Structure 1
């Protein structure tokens, strides 16, 4: 192995050595603890330290790094106190996740490190969002994100690289090609000769670097960082290295040919660099001995602190409190000036006034810029706010949602438009595993609103007509809003954007241009989690949301003899159970009306809640009316049969006659 010190001083060379030795000694201690049964799981980075150490040494402390399992050198390189790392690995309170997640599945704003989730790929999109925020601020900061050769096969990898290239984002995409994805060798994972070649398809600069040579890593990345500050752009970096331990310790390495292990053992990044420094008179034996002694003492003392910590005590209050970031509603009351507008105009007005209110609000979606979006809701926004804040995206929903998370991490608010709610399926993973869980895992907000044009009645077929709110109402950490009227749509969307928690905002397409209402012209808010009582009666409680609210109003207008409470939920998560229970206890009957198919829908949970909390007040079983348990069809006759509109009146009368 050849080391080129270039113009580095002896002090810089020794600093890199210190950074290399520390994670290696921690790893060696962890392997002892595993054999003693004091640690249950460990993902070793032995043999790969030069990459983590080199990247971290090059970046400033206020530049974000997104590491993975085997990047201990990132955490030690940012000088995180070791006792906190040991506490994290043991699930203690002084860790970073309050015992809710393990190993390196955490982030910390204090040290500008954003940890991984087991799905791997989405963190690349998060890096895009962080880098976009840096670019919007013109602060010259670089973002570095790690991935393994295995994750380069994931769609998120390709989406994130494409976005970064198109938007010219200053991201270092770091591939640690360590030979194996768990037990699968690289020749069973991809057919290109080098993973760096994948950058070509995205018009992206790429390099291959010896990942075991700390000076090659440090010097090349230093050169690239200087260049990326002057010319912001993404760079794909493939580091050739090897995983000397198992995927995790329990896996072992029996599937690796012994000759291959021997080949890489002589390329050990720590031992080779130590020899280079020693041979050149830069590192003395005494210095090395004292350094290792100091680090081992720090490790032992830190372990003692972590071991002395009490185990976390579980409480319902503590767990539930952190699912959402606490947020106190502050009412903004509307003025008296009103205008009769359509539902779609109310959405557009909210977006425009929120963009004026928040200079750090960025909108992303397909065709939302000059074209104005598929429904023309953002028409004219580019002229007012510019393309930096109103951003057309490639067709890559997953990475765009992840980028929204990255924007939130780096001080921005994000709105992501799904062109149709159906398309959210390709962005499902980051919504339910990043946005929903971040605050619970490590107390980081996810200030992202995902707009969801949804619903049937327009003969748009199975891929443009779903109302899929139930995919998200069951996921703790998400808020789900579903208005039925222009007034509510504007006030609730404004508040959804205010809220630092992730919100899925459903907008029924059929209501866009047919529902009119007097709406205040200026900015105002409506609190999330509060239902609206549209009609009052004493015979039955009708619970609905979205287009079903209008269908229920039509039914009641035809049957004036029916005395009903009509409750428009408006928000599905959090759910206004107080309003539901109060009405049902008054009327003694309840019917829940939804457009989604019946089984597993929101109506099912509301029905169960009523049965559990209002049973003694009921004069009849709770009734649910919903669409057929089939995909939504295209032809009008089939769609009319699918939707519940034609079955509601009979079901309501049947309930009243019970």
Structure 2
């Protein structure tokens, strides 16, 4: 291994050695604690320290780094306190996630480090959003994101490279090619000679370097970062290294040929650099053991102190409170001027006024700029706010949602348009595992709204007509809204933009141009979690949301002899239990109506809650009226049969006649 010191003096080289040795000493301590049963799990980066340390040193301290399991050197180089790291690893309250997550699954904004989640692919997409925020702010910064060679098989990795290339984002995608993804060798992971060759396909710069040579890594990353700060664009760097221990300690290394382990042991990055410094008479051989003793003497009391911290005392209130960031609506004087507009125009008005109020709000989606989106919701906005804020995206939902999250992590707000709500399935991990869990895990709000054009009635068939709100309502950390009227469409959208939590905003496609109503001209906000009593009554309660509210109104118009109280939920997570329960206690009968399928639809949750809270006053069983348990058919006759509306008369007849 050849080291080139260039213009580094002796003190600088010794400093690098200290930074390289420190994570090794910590890891050796952790392996002892693991064998003693004092910690539960460990992902070892022994043999890969040069990558984390060299790359972290090359980045400016105010630039984001997104590390992985084996990048302890990033944290130590950024001077993250060891005792907080240990508390994180063993699940103490003083850890970054307060015992709610393990390993490096956390972020630390004060250190500009954003850790991973177990779904490895999403990390690079977040880096894109972070870098985009820097570009929009005209800040000359780079972002560094780590991935393993196994992660390069994930679709998110490729989506991230494509977006970064198309948008010229200053992101360094650093691949630690350590030979194995758990036990799967690289020959079974990809079929190209070098991973760095993939850079050519995305039109970006690619470099392959020795991942065990700390100076090569430092210089390479420094050079690339310096360059892309001045002329933003991405780069792919492949660091060739080896994982000397198992994927995690329980995995072992029996699947690795002994000869291969021996070869890489001879390339140990810490020992190789020490040998170089001794050979150059920069340090004496005795300094290595001396520094180890210094580090150990510093770590020992911190380890004992942290291990002695009391175990977390579970508290239900605290756990529920921390799922969401506290939200408050702006205090404004309501505008008395109202205009009759269509449902679709109310959504556009909400977006426009949100963009006018927040210069850090970015709209993203397929064809939303000049074309105005497939439904023309964003038509004209690009000419008002420009292409930097109204952004066409490549066709890659997961990559775009990840970029939106990255924007949120770096001080921006984002509204993402799904072309159809059905397509959110392509970004499902980002939504339910990343967006939803971030605040609960480490207290970071994520300011993202995902617009979901939803519902049937337009003969869109199985892939353009689903009512998939139940996918998201059950996911703690997400808020879900579903307006039925134009004024609520605007008010809930503006409230969602203000909310620091991720919000799924469902908008019914059939209502776009088929429904009009009075909408306040200025800022208007509808409280998320507050239902609307559309019409009061005494004989029965219908609880509905979205298009189903209008089915209920049609039924009520045909049956003026029945005194029906109609509640439009408007928000599904959180939902207004108090209003619903109070209504059913008054009327004694309840029907839950929604467009989603019967089995597993949100109506089941509503019906169960009503039955539990109102059992003693019910005059009839709580009933549900929902769509058939089939995919949504395309043919108009089949679609009408599918929809809950075709069974509403019968359901209400059973309820009222019980």
TM-score normalised to structure 2 length: 0.99
Distance in 2 between residues matched to 1:10 and 1:388, nearest whole Å: 47
**1:591/1:624 contact within 8 Å kept:** yes
**2:329/2:525 contact within 8 Å kept:** no
Aligned to 1:309: 309
Distance in 2 between residues matched to 1:104 and 1:15, nearest whole Å: 25
Aligned to 2:82: 82
Report SS of the residue matched to 2:6: coil
Aligned to 2:630: 630
Further displaced range: 581-590 or 325-334? 325-334
**2:101/2:441 contact within 8 Å kept:** yes
Alpha-carbon shift at residue 334 of structure 1 (Å) = 2.7
Within 5 Å, give how 1:187-202 maps onto structure 2.
187-202=187-202
1:7 aligns with 2:7: yes
**1:276-322 CA distances to partner (integer Å, 9 max, x unpaired)?**
01110111245434322221112112102211211111010111110
**1:229-283 CA distances to partner (integer Å, 9 max, x unpaired)?**
1111100010000000000001100000000001100000000000001110111
1:472 aligns with 2:484: no
Aligned to 2:655: 655
Distance in 1 between residues matched to 2:220 and 2:336, nearest whole Å: 62
1:72 aligns with 2:94: no
**2:607/2:624 contact within 8 Å kept:** yes
**1:332/1:525 contact within 8 Å kept:** no
Alpha-carbon shift at residue 333 of structure 1 (Å) = 4.1
Aligned to 1:419: 419
Distance in 2 between residues matched to 1:37 and 1:626, nearest whole Å: 53
1:510 aligns with 2:515: no
Within 5 Å, give how 1:58-457 maps onto structure 2.
58-457=58-457
**1:454/1:467 contact within 8 Å kept:** yes
Report SS of the residue matched to 1:110: helix
Alpha-carbon shift at residue 41 of structure 1 (Å) = 0.6
**1:442-496 CA distances to partner (integer Å, 9 max, x unpaired)?**
0010110000000000001111111100000000000000000000110110000
Distance in 2 between residues matched to 1:109 and 1:13, nearest whole Å: 29
Report SS of the residue matched to 1:647: helix
Aligned to 1:548: 548
Distance in 2 between residues matched to 1:432 and 1:452, nearest whole Å: 15
**2:51/2:217 contact within 8 Å kept:** yes
Distance in 1 between residues matched to 2:219 and 2:283, nearest whole Å: 20
Distance in 1 between residues matched to 2:97 and 2:14, nearest whole Å: 34
Alpha-carbon shift at residue 573 of structure 1 (Å) = 0.5
Distance in 1 between residues matched to 2:625 and 2:446, nearest whole Å: 34
**1:585/1:618 contact within 8 Å kept:** yes
Distance in 2 between residues matched to 1:223 and 1:115, nearest whole Å: 24
Alpha-carbon shift at residue 11 of structure 1 (Å) = 2.0
Distance in 2 between residues matched to 1:479 and 1:375, nearest whole Å: 24
Distance in 2 between residues matched to 1:166 and 1:262, nearest whole Å: 43
**1:422/1:463 contact within 8 Å kept:** yes
Structure 1: give runs of 5+ residues left out of the alignment. none
Distance in 1 between residues matched to 2:286 and 2:646, nearest whole Å: 87
Aligned to 1:22: 22
Report SS of the residue matched to 2:267: coil
Distance in 2 between residues matched to 1:613 and 1:329, nearest whole Å: 30
Distance in 2 between residues matched to 1:47 and 1:479, nearest whole Å: 43
Aligned to 2:519: 519
Distance in 2 between residues matched to 1:528 and 1:363, nearest whole Å: 21
Alpha-carbon shift at residue 328 of structure 1 (Å) = 2.4
Report SS of the residue matched to 2:139: coil
Runs of 4+ in 1 over 4 A off after TM superposition: none
**1:409/1:445 contact within 8 Å kept:** yes
Alpha-carbon shift at residue 204 of structure 1 (Å) = 1.0
Distance in 1 between residues matched to 2:121 and 2:377, nearest whole Å: 31
**1:208-243 CA distances to partner (integer Å, 9 max, x unpaired)?**
010000011011111111111111110001000000
Aligned to 2:584: 584
Distance in 2 between residues matched to 1:207 and 1:378, nearest whole Å: 40
Alpha-carbon shift at residue 5 of structure 1 (Å) = 1.0
Alpha-carbon shift at residue 331 of structure 1 (Å) = 4.1
Structure 2: give runs of 5+ residues left out of the alignment. none
Distance in 2 between residues matched to 1:414 and 1:298, nearest whole Å: 44
Distance in 2 between residues matched to 1:147 and 1:307, nearest whole Å: 31
Aligned to 1:539: 539
**1:339-370 CA distances to partner (integer Å, 9 max, x unpaired)?**
11000000000000000000000111000011
Q: CA RMSD in A?
A: 0.9
Distance in 1 between residues matched to 2:609 and 2:36, nearest whole Å: 49
1:485 aligns with 2:485: yes
Report SS of the residue matched to 2:110: coil
Report SS of the residue matched to 1:625: strand
**1:144/1:173 contact within 8 Å kept:** yes
Report SS of the residue matched to 1:567: strand
Distance in 2 between residues matched to 1:24 and 1:618, nearest whole Å: 67
Alpha-carbon shift at residue 329 of structure 1 (Å) = 3.0
Further displaced range: 95-104 or 280-289? 280-289
Distance in 2 between residues matched to 1:334 and 1:165, nearest whole Å: 45
The alignment covers a number of residue pairs equal to 658
